[in-house]
A and B are shown apart, each in its own frame.
Chain A
Amino acid sequence: MTDYPPLTLHVPEPAVRPGGHPDFSNVPIPEAGSVDRPEVDADPASMRKLAYSIIRVLNRDGEAVGPWAGSLSDDELLQGLRDMMTLRAFDARMQMAQRQGKTSFYMQHMGEEGVSCAFQKALLPGDMNFPTYRQAGLLIASGYPLVDMMCQIYSNERDPLKGRQLPVLYSAKENGFFSISGNLATQYIQAVGWAMASAIKNDTKIAAAWIGDGSTAESDFHAALVFASTYKAPVVLNIVNNQWAISTFQGIARGGSGTFAARGLGFGLPALRVDGNDFLAVHAVAKWAAERARRNLGATMIEYVTYRVGAHSSSDDPSAYRPKTESDAWPLGDPIIRLKNHLIVRGVWSEERHKQSEAEVLDTVITAQKEAERHGTLHAGGRPSARDMFEGVYAEMPPHLRRQRQQAGV
């Protein structure tokens, strides 16, 4: 017999479910410009509060304010806007292509365009991203051809990966974009290893690791933090907190920790939390972390606070688990509109030019799509050969695979 009441299991629930009224009033959003910008060589212990705040540059009037402002020129910002618009248009076309049966699968970035497009601008040639399946902005911002991306999605005869990989699991070494795996979080520790290799070789290149909020629960995440901390690896550890892991709200992965960034604190890593829909803030923080890595000061953890506006994938229907209008209530807004407004305030952009640019971007994407489709789509036109299926398992095909290839008649 005991005097204690029966124990009960705590299972976190999102504040609102379908049919409910979206409410983010419990999400504290600091004023733009209100968070300090420490020196890159500051002691991680001195900046612990950055893991619990949100670094923001763009204020409600579209002005860039505070210590994190000013890391990009007009031209760089205009290019950034174009990159985000290209990614959004690309997403829309590929989502439609999936619905038309031209490919089996697609995953959109709606609402998260700012994170990857801005981050890429903090890297130098030779640096390596270890992305998840939702960072195609890294590719677009690095100038990777849209046609090649589409050919991968279509698994056609020009697919750089020969039809072996699911759509959107790109690989583009020359663009510093590591091969995407379907297995979540695996690339996080690999990024740390790549960065360790750069340090072992006394190189100057750095790595960037990427993970979503849900996947931080994977063991690889924790291994990566241990190794990054132990070896002071030159890596930027990015967490894209878009609030959702398919149907699971971020509280399931986060548990009792205040924020995902705070996970880094226990490992002695500087941990910053940033407005993921603020292109300027994302870039400034990324640049800070990259600078820290390049100066051999070690790894930095960054949590990008954003919202997954679209469905998880072309196989998902979010209305089954969250209110349809939840994204409209998201307090950090839309990264494209916010940067557009800032550029207008800055005097280098206008509504007219934006409309014109939208048309140009769409035209570029459609032209690329037509070119890609000339090389085939999943079920029609040119496709990789069955022979390609047997190649590349090993550098040299071993006898047993040669026999199987012969049996397959290719």
Chain B
Amino acid sequence: MPRKTMIEAIRDGMDVMMERDDNVVVFGEDVGFFGGVFRATQGLQAKYGKSRCFDAPISELGIVGSAVGMAAYGLRPCVEIQFADYMYPAYDQIVSEAARMRYRSNGQFTCPMVVRMPTGGGIFGGQTHSQSPEALFTHVAGLKTVMPSNPSDAKGLLISAIEDPDPVIFLEPKRLYNGPFDGHHERPVTPWSKHELGEVADGYYTIPLGKAAIRRVGSAITVLAYGTMVYVAEAAANETGIDAEIIDLRSLVPLDIEAIEASVRKTGRCIVVHEATLTSGFGAELSALVQETCFYHLEAPVARVAGWDTPYPHAQEWDYFPGPSRVGQALLNAMEP
């Protein structure tokens, strides 16, 4: 199978869906002629025309709000917010409108829409190019929230998201756009062409929302992760020698609780890792669920490794980012009797 970067895989996913379904439209800031600041939509306007892929004014609320109207008409908009850090002006449209359209109209109007957002840190993005706002979406009834960690998943999940009858927040860890990243910023970056998960099947395929993937089979402890932290957790497991089972959640809502339960019941221990800030982060939900469903199997408290409860700093990038040493320490702590 051909190997592709995550960017190429995402573009491929949109290309496949635009080809299959005339109702799929793609727009956002710099998305049209230029092909996106990350090149995710490169070539789509040339291939499908300006009425299918076009540039939008710099108005996140305008982008999402108009997409809600398009979805109500019957289109399937797949829109881009340039950085997840800039989704806040659109938050009202996402929470009060997109998420509730089906419910409040008793199914008369629906919102089959995808909002793509580059997310996450590890790129010296500072306060407004690094945030991980997934908990602000997972808390909202009516939304689905997805975050791929590799090119193959990115394409399959994006196709599923575009086909989904409900609004999907599609968070793309921009740190992973060109290659996996395990937090070892001092080492050279490996491109996706050198990684097996860079293999992306041509044409149409889907990866179902709500299904996790086990990235590393282990018996000692379960690590719940998504996005960039999947690779950080792998590095931490390898470096500590702890036989961790690493679950890449892929989809946060709906959540693959069965995969989580099965793993924690097997290992008896669990840590949750994410880049987002700790307090009221999605890790709190995961930790609570594990505690509720696996209480009698747990041999240690469920621990969380997360970003600190601060805005994302610039100079202190690697003091903030939960890298392999912090995750490794959490693994060691959790293994203590």
Contacts and interface: CB of A to CB of B under 8 A. Distances in A.
The answer to whether A and B interact is yes
B62 interface: yes
Interface stretch (A34-42, A105-113, A220-228, A294-302): A220-228
Nearest to B51: A200
Contacts of A230: 57
A346 interface: no
A197 B106 CA distance: 22
A400 B107 CA distance: 20
Interface string A152-177: 00000000111011000101110000
Contact of A171 (B68, B108, B255): B108
User: What is the interface residue range for chain B against chain A?
Assistant: 35 or more
Contacts of A9: none
Contacts of A207: 69
A201 B22 CA distance: 9
Nearest to B109: A179
A327 to B, nearest CB: 32
Contacts of A394: 102, 142, 144, 165-166
Contacts of B65: 186, 189-190, 192-193, 220, 223-224
A392 B105 CA distance: 9
Interface stretch (B70-78, B128-136, B197-205, B221-229): B70-78
A339 interface: no
B263 interface: no
Contact of B165 (A162, A189, A395, A400): A395
A219 B103 CA distance: 25
B101 interface: yes
Contacts of B127: none
A393 interface: yes
A130 B101 CA distance: 13
A399 interface: yes
Contact of A190 (B69, B141, B142): B69
Contact of A223 (B59, B72, B107, B210): B59
B96 A181 contact: yes
A194 interface: yes
Nearest to A384: B106
Given A220-B61, A223-B65, A190 B254 contact: no
A220 B69 CA distance: 13
A192 B52 contact: no
Nearest to A200: B51
A191 interface: yes
A398 interface: yes
B289 to A, nearest CB: 9
Interface in A60-112: none
Interface in A212-255: 219-220, 223-224, 226-227, 230
B25 interface: yes
A179 B75 contact: no
A307 interface: no
A193 B109 contact: no
Given A161-B106, A226-B62, A197 B52 contact: no
A259 interface: no
Contacts of B92: 183, 186, 220
Interface in A128-145: 128, 130
A191 B97 CA distance: 13
Contact of B69 (A130, A219, A398): A130
A262 interface: no
27 contacts: A128-B72, A161-B105, A164-B104, A171-B104, A172-B108, A179-B104, A179-B108, A181-B97, A183-B96, A186-B93, A189-B66, A190-B68, A191-B69, A193-B68, A193-B69, A196-B69, A197-B73, A197-B74, A200-B25, A200-B51, A200-B75, A223-B66, A224-B62, A226-B57, A392-B107, A395-B102, A398-B210
Which 8 A-B pairs give the minimum distances between C-beta atoms? A193-B69, A193-B66, A189-B65, A223-B62, A190-B69, A197-B73, A179-B105, A194-B69
Interface of B: 25, 51-52, 56-57, 59, 61-62, 65-70, 72-75, 89, 92-93, 96-97, 100-110, 141-142, 144, 165-166, 210, 253-255, 257
Given A196-B66, A394-B165, A395-B110, 8 more contacts: A130-B69, A161-B104, A182-B96, A186-B92, A193-B68, A194-B72, A201-B74, A400-B253
Interface of A: 128, 130, 160-162, 164-165, 169, 171-173, 178-179, 181-183, 186, 189-201, 207, 219-220, 223-224, 226-227, 230, 392-395, 398-400
